[in-house]
Amino acid sequence: MAASWSLRLQGVGNAFATELGSAMATIERDGAPWLTIDCGNDGLTHYLAHYGAPPRALFITHAHLDHVGGFERLFGSVYWNDALRGEVKLYGPAPLVPLLQQRVGSYPNTIAEGGANFWDA
């Protein structure tokens, strides 16, 4: 039997259309998350409510805060969970890596609990 593919939108808004949620969508295979696109703050809330766990594969399109605003919460839900730490795969265009480092990788510097930062999750 062929796999069933679908797209679930967690949010389609932006900084000026907050009532539509923040940018995030998930490609599903047979009803299970396969690849999540972007990680807006409100989008992550909807994702966690629907799937019950953080995304395992995440593609970031660009570093606007409505697309990466959920990273701090994603870090918190993954880093302190031994079963999930190191299991989230992050994908994106190579030129995006330095921008992500500026936006979220070095903010808020290191976390007091163990000196960890975004990339440690």
Task: Tell me the per-residue pLDDT of 59-80, one tens digit each, with 9 for 90 and over.
Answer: 999 988 888 888 888 988 888 8
Rounded mean pLDDT, 44-67: 93
What does the pLDDT read at residue 17?
A: 76
What does the pLDDT read at residue 109?
A: 55
What does the pLDDT read at residue 72?
A: 83
CA 118 and chain centroid, separation? 12
Q: Would you call the peptide bond into 108 cis, given omega within 30 degrees of 0 as the criterion?
A: yes
CA 35 and chain centroid, separation? 10
The three-class DSSP label of residue 7 is strand
Per-residue confidence band for 36, with pLDDT thresholds at 50, 70 and 90: very high
Q: CA-CA distance, 120 to 77, in Å (whole number)?
A: 12
Domain range annotation of the chain: 40-112
Q: CA-CA distance, 65 to 40, in Å (whole number)?
A: 7
**N- to C-terminal Cα separation, the chain:** 36
Residue 94 pLDDT greater than 90, yes or no: yes
